[in-house]
Amino acid sequence: MASPRYVTLAADTDTPVDLGANYGSVEVTLVANAATTQFNATGTVIGSSTLTDGNHVLTTTLLSKVVKDDTSGNTVVHLRSSGTPTVAVAGL
């Protein structure tokens, strides 16, 4: 698997992205079709598009964020969006 990975999200669907290695932190960036997108680097499924405590959020004005990777083993980032943005997920 590669880093960064580019994925186009389906609206209101949890999408896990496995980076294939363990990283200390991850950068998540909205690349196209920006929409409110929540994510975590804890390996936790995001159950709804309603903003959930413990998840980070990207918006049309905050397009990128770097967070600590709290997964064990391979870094797995879970994303869920209200729309269909293309997202870059990079291990750092």
Instruction: Print pLDDT tens along the chain (92 aa).
Output: 778 999 999 999 999 999 999 999 999 999 999 999 999 999 999 998 889 899 999 999 999 999 999 998 999 999 999 999 999 999 99
Structural domain boundaries in the chain: 5-91
Note the pTM of the prediction, 2 decimals: 0.94
86 Cα distance to chain centroid: 11
Smallest Cα–Cα separation from 79: which of 27, 24, 39?
Answer: 39
CATH domain 5-91 topology: Jelly Rolls (2.60.120)
Is the separation of the CB atoms in 56 and 39 below 8 Å? yes
What pLDDT was estimated at residue 49?
A: 80
Smallest Cα–Cα separation from 1: which of 20, 24, 21?
Answer: 20
- State the sign of the Cα–Cα–Cα–Cα dihedral 37, 88, 79, 33: positive
**Strand partners for 64:** 29
